[in-house]
Amino acid sequence: MDTPWLDRRQLRSWIRLRGVLELLPAVLDAQLRRDADLTEFEYHVLAMLSEAPGRTLRMTELARQTNATLPRLSHVVSRLEARELLARCACPEDRRATNARLTEAGWAKLQEAAPGHVINVRQHVIDALTDEQIDQLATIGDALLARLDPTGSMAATYTRYDHPEDGVEGQAAAG
């Protein structure tokens, strides 16, 4: 089989995307660690819980929404639980399941961390783009996600802001 090598234009785009994928997580993580004593993933976990009904999710659902394995999530939840930012509790609907619930301290930590995180996201991503490019980025993201998540198992997570409802637009914590 002949390898379908990338042409110069394709290689140019790929290398730039690769650079963004390499640099952006470190930029987001560094700011959250410095300003809020949270990793980017810990912030993401807290943000997902903050948007859930009752600020509570089953661990399996939280793992799905954060695209984490249960062992990785359990380790992070243990760290957040030790800091009293969330609590694990039995699931009332299924005694075999465990829920994670955002505590008041976790909610306060998220509210404290969100403004700096949003400023960082704006500075390094949103404000670097025109309105047209922001729309193009969403379209490009959709095309890539259709290949990366063909079953749509994560779709609810990455499409939750597609339709502004109940004044949510502009108030998201850039989770």
Domain count, the chain: 1
Q: Please report whether residue 89 resides in a domain.
A: yes
Q: Please report whether residue 107 resides in a domain.
A: yes
Position 1 scores a pLDDT of: 87
Q: Please report whether residue 43 resides in a domain.
A: yes
How many other CB atoms sit within 10 Å of the CB of residue 154? 15
Q: In 3-state terms, what secondary structure has residue 37? A: coil
* CATH number of the domain enclosing 64: 1.10.10.10
Question: For each of the chain's 175 residues, which pLDDT tens digit applies?
Answer: 899 999 999 999 999 999 999 999 999 999 999 999 999 999 999 999 999 999 999 999 999 999 999 999 999 999 999 999 999 999 998 888 999 999 999 999 999 999 999 999 999 999 999 999 999 999 999 999 999 999 998 888 888 889 876 444 444 455 6
**What is the rounded (10 degree) CA torsion for 120, 74, 99, 36?**
-30
DSSP per-residue codes, 133-154: HHHHHHHHHHHHHHHHSTT-TT
Q: Please report whether residue 93 resides in a domain.
A: yes
Q: Please report whether residue 13 resides in a domain.
A: no
Q: Please report whether residue 103 resides in a domain.
A: yes
Q: Please report whether residue 91 resides in a domain.
A: yes
Q: Please report whether residue 29 resides in a domain.
A: no
pTM: 0.88
CB contact at 8 A, 35 and 116: yes
- Domain holding 82, by residue range, is 37-112
